[in-house]
C-alpha cells in the first residue's frame, strides 16, 4: 500500500480535485449522508442523547486508567488475553508474535483503522504472512494497492468501471461493471480465504468495561466470519474506544451507526466476549489496546476532547475541504476533519502541518458530529502551535515572518489612527498593481499566492467606516467616546 507522504499534500489535493470520479462520488455521498445526518440530529426524538453520550465519553476519559483496568480484568476472566501496546511498533510486534506462535500463514482482516495506524500489514507481510482484507471496500483498495480514502467508504475514489477492470486483472474474471456480479466475484474469492485463514484480525468499534465484550458493526457480515472462522482472533483498539457500562454502550452505538450511515442500527452487530467455545478445538482471543501517543493527548486539556471521537466518519461527509480533495491528500490513516486534528497529534504537528492549515474552520464538522466534538477549536489550537511553536508538543514555529506580520497587524488594527494612515499608504502603494479591470491580478513577494488563482479587489478609496460616519453622523456622546478611545480629538 503506497501512502502519499505529507509533502505531497498539495499534489494529491490537486489530483483529487481533477478526478471527475472522485468529485461525482463525493458530491452524491456528501449530499446523501452529510446533509442527511444534519437533518437527522434536528429530528432526533431524544435531543439530549448527543449531550449524554458526549458527557459519558468525557467521563470515561477522565477515569480511563481505571476503566481500562476493569476491561482487561473482564476480558481475561472470559478467557481472552489483553496486551497494552505503548507504540505502533510494539502493537505490531505483539500481533506478529501471536501469528508466529500459531504458525499463521494467512490473516483475514475486518475493517480496522487502528490496524492501518499501527502499520501491522507490512510487518506481517514481511514475515511471509498473507494479509487479506474482507470488507469489500477495503478489499478493493487492497487489490488496487492504494490506501483507503474514507473512514467508512474506503474506495469512494473509484467507479465501477475501474473496479471492473481491477477485478478482471486481479481475479481473472471477465470484465463486468455490474455491481452484483462484482460483489459475487469478491465474495467467492474471499470465502476461500476466510475458510483457510488461521487468524482473524479486526478493529473494535467499542469495548465495554462492564462486561468485557468488544462490539463490531458491519453491513456485510464479513466481520462475523473473520472473528469466528479462524482459530485465533486478534482485535486491535485505540485505548479510548472503551465505554464504562452496557447502558452507555447502547447509546453510543446508536449514535455511531446513525452518524456513519444514517442507520438506527447496522445490519450486523457482533459482540465478542472471549474465545469461541468450540469442543475439541483450541481457540484464542487477544485484545491489543494501543496507546501510540494517546496518553499525551489525554494529558492535554486542550486536545483531550478529540479522544471522545467514535470514528463514525460523519465529519468527512460534511467537510467542504474533504469533499473536494478526497482522503488520499491527508496521508494518514485518518482523513477529513478528524484526521486533520488527530493525525498531527499522533504523528507530529509539524509533519502534518498542511492538514490543520488546510481546513476552513467553517464549523460544519462540529455540528454534524454525534458527540459534538469541537474540531474547529482544536484546529485553531494546532495552528497556534505552528505559529508560535510549542515545547510541550515538540513543535517548531513554522513561519516566524508570518507571526511577525500578524503581530504588526494586531498593533495596527488596535490603533484606529494608525490603521487609517496605513490604509491610505496601502492605497497609494497598490496603484501600480491595479489592472484595467480595476482588479489586482498579480501581487509580489510573500503575497503572490493570493493572486495565483483569483483577482483581488483593490483597497477602496473610502473606507467602510468613513462611509458609515458620513451616512450616520455620530451623536455628540458617541463622538466623544470614540475620540477618547482612539486618542483623537475628533472622529
Q: Return the number of other C-beta atoms located less than 10 Å from residue 393's C-beta.
A: 20
Instruction: State yes or no: residue 50 binds ligand SF4 (CB under 6 A).
Output: no
Query: Please, are residues 107 and 124 in contact by the beta-carbon 8 Å criterion?
Result: yes
Count of positions (residues) in the chain? 491
**How many chain residues are in contact with ligand SF4, going by CB under 6 A?**
14
Query: Is residue 33 part of the contact set for ligand SF4 (CB under 6 A)?
Result: no
Least distance CB 315 / ligand SF4 (angstroms): 3
Closer CB to ligand SF4, 33 or 375, in the complex:
375
Minimum CB–partner distance for residue 462 and ligand SF4 (Å): 45
Q: Could you tell me the end-to-end alpha-carbon distance of the chain, in angstroms, rounded to an integer?
A: 65
113 touches ligand SF4 by CB under 6 A? no
Q: Which residues pair with 109 in a beta bridge?
A: 133, 201
Distances in Å between the alpha carbon of 94 and those of 119, 196, 239, 437? 13, 22, 16, 66
Indicate whether 227 belongs to the interface with ligand SF4 (CB under 6 A).
no
Q: Residue with C-alpha cell 492549515?
A: 357
Residue owning grid cell 486478534: 234
Which of these segments, 84-92, 283-291, 311-319, 379-387, binds ligand SF4 (CB under 6 A)?
311-319
Asked if 312 touches ligand SF4 (CB under 6 A), the answer is yes
Measured CA to CA in angstroms, residue 164 lies from 15, 161, 175, 182 at distances of 22, 5, 6, 7
Residues 247-276 that bind ligand SF4 (CB under 6 A): 259
**35 to 42, 109, 314, 316: CA distances (angstroms):** 11, 31, 10, 11
Query: Which residue pairs from 390-394 have beta carbons closer than 8 angstroms and sit at least 24 positions apart in sequence?
Result: 390/349, 392/300, 393/345, 393/349, 394/348, 394/349
Handedness of CA 90, 93, 98, 99 (dihedral sign): positive
61 binds ligand SF4 (CB under 6 A): no
Q: How far is the CB of 138 from ligand SF4 (least distance, A)?
A: 17
- Residue 288 or 375: the one with the smaller Cβ distance to ligand SF4 is 375
Assess 310 for contact with ligand SF4 (CB under 6 A).
yes
332 touches ligand SF4 (CB under 6 A): no
> What residues from 333 to 372 belong to the interface with ligand SF4 (CB under 6 A)?
338, 369-371
Least distance (Å) between residue 259 CB and ligand SF4? 5
**Cα four-point dihedral sign 187, 188, 191, 192:** negative
Task: Tell whether residue 148 is a contact of ligand SF4 (CB under 6 A).
Answer: no
Least distance between ligand SF4 and beta carbon 37 (Å) = 8
Assess 223 for contact with ligand SF4 (CB under 6 A): no
Q: Does 154 bind ligand SF4 (CB under 6 A)?
A: no
Nearer to ligand SF4, 75 or 315 (CB): 315
Identify residues 413-432 at the interface with ligand SF4 (CB under 6 A).
none
Smallest gap, in angstroms, from Cβ of residue 285 to ligand SF4?
Answer: 27
Residue pair 121/127 in contact by the 8 Å Cβ criterion = no
3-state secondary structure of 298: helix
Strand order in the sheet with 213-218: 242-243, 206-208, 213-218, 268-272
Query: Of 16 and 336, which CB lies nearer to ligand SF4 in the complex structure?
Result: 336
Residue 68: CB minimum distance to ligand SF4, A: 20
Binding of residue 238 to ligand SF4 (CB under 6 A): no
Q: How far apart are CA 362 and CA 426, in angstroms?
A: 30
DSSP alpha helix (H) spans, 269-396: 294-298, 322-325, 336-347, 353-358, 364-368, 375-388
Q: Which of 123, 141, 185, 309 binds ligand SF4 (CB under 6 A)?
A: 309
CB of 244 to ligand SF4, least distance (A): 18
Could you say which of 72, 235, 315, 349 contacts ligand SF4 (CB under 6 A)?
315
If one asks whether residue 313 binds ligand SF4 (CB under 6 A), the answer comes out as yes
Stretch that binds ligand SF4, among 116-124, 303-311, 351-359, 397-405 (CB under 6 A): 303-311
Q: Which residues contact ligand SF4 (rule: CB under 6 A)? A: 259, 309-315, 338, 369-371, 373, 375
Amino acid at each position: 500500500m503506497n501512502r502519499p507522504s505529507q509533502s505531497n499534500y498539495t499534489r494529491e489535493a490537486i489530483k483529487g480535485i481533477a478526478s471527475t470520479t472522485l468529485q461525482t462520488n463525493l458530491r452524491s455521498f456528501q449530499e446523501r449522508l452529510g446533509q442527511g445526518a444534519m437533518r437527522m440530529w434536528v429530528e432526533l426524538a431524544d435531543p439530549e442523547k448527543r449531550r449524554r453520550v458526549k458527557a459519558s465519553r468525557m467521563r470515561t476519559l477522565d477515569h480511563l486508567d481505571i476503566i481500562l483496568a476493569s476491561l482487561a480484568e473482564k476480558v481475561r476472566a472470559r478467557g481472552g488475553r489483553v496486551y497494552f501496546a505503548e507504540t505502533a511498533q510494539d502493537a505490531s510486534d505483539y500481533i506478529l508474535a501471536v501469528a508466529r506462535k500459531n504458525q499463521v500463514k494467512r490473516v483475514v482482516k475486518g475493517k480496522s483503522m487502528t490496524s492501518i495506524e499501527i502499520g501491522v500489514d507490512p510487518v506481517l507481510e514481511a514475515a511471509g504472512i498473507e494479509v487479506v482484507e474482507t470488507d469489500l471496500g477495503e478489499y478493493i483498495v487492497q487489490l488496487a494497492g492504494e490506501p483507503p480514502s474514507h473512514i467508512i467508504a474506503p474506495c469512494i475514489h473509484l467507479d465501477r468501471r475501474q473496479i471492473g477492470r481491477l477485478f478482471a486483472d486481479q481475479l481473472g474474471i471477465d470484465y463486468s461493471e455490474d455491481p452484483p456480479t462484482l460483489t459475487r466475484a469478491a465474495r467467492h474469492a474471499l470465502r476461500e480465504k476466510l475458510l483457510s485463514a488461521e487468524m482473524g484480525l479486526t478493529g473494535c468499534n467499542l469495548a465495554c468495561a462492564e462486561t468485557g465484550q468488544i462490539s463490531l458493526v458491519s453491513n456485510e457480515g464479513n466481520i462475523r466470519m473473520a472473528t469466528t472462522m479462524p482459530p485465533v482472533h486478534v482485535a486491535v483498539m485505540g485505548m479510548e474506544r472503551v465505554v464504562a457500562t452496557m447502558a452507555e454502550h447502547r447509546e453510543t452505538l446508536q449514535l455511531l451507526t446513525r452518524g456513519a450511515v444514517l442507520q438506527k442500527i447496522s445490519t450486523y452487530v457482533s459482540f465478542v466476549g472471549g474465545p469461541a467455545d468450540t469442543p475439541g478445538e483450541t481457540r484464542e482471543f487477544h485484545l491489543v489496546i494501543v496507546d501510540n501517543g494517546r496518553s499525551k493527548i489525554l494529558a492535554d486539556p486542550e486536545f483531550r476532547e478529540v479522544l471522545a471521537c467514535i470514528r463514525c466518519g460523519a465529519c468527512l461527509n460534511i467537510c467542504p475541504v474533504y469533499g473536494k480533495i478526497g482522503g488520499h491528500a491527508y496521508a494518514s490513516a485518518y482523513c477529513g476533519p478528524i484526521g486533520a486534528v488527530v493525525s498531527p497529534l499522533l504523528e507530529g504537528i509539524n509533519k502534518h502541518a498542511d492538514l490543520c492549515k488546510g481546513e476552513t474552520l467553517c464549523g460544519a464538522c462540529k455540528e454534524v458530529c454525534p458527540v459534538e466534538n469541537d474540531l474547529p477549536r482544536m484546529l485553531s489550537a494546532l495552528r497556534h502551535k505552528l505559529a508560535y511553536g510549542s515545547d510541550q508538543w515538540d513543535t517548531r514555529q513554522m513561519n516566524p515572518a508570518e507571526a511577525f506580520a500578524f503581530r504588526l497587524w494586531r498593533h495596527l488594527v488596535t490603533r484606529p489612527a494608525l490603521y487609517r494612515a496605513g490604509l491610505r499608504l496601502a492605497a497609494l502603494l497598490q496603484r501600480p498593481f491595479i489592472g484595467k479591470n480595476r482588479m489586482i491580478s498579480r501581487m509580489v513577494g510573500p503575497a503572490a499566492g493570493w493572486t495565483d488563482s483569483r483577482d483581488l479587489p483593490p483597497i477602496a478609496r473610502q473606507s467602510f467606516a468613513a462611509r458609515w460616519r458620513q451616512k450616520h453622523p455620530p451623536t455628540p456622546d458617541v463622538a466623544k467616546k470614540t475620540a477618547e478611545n482612539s486618542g483623537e480629538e475628533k472622529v
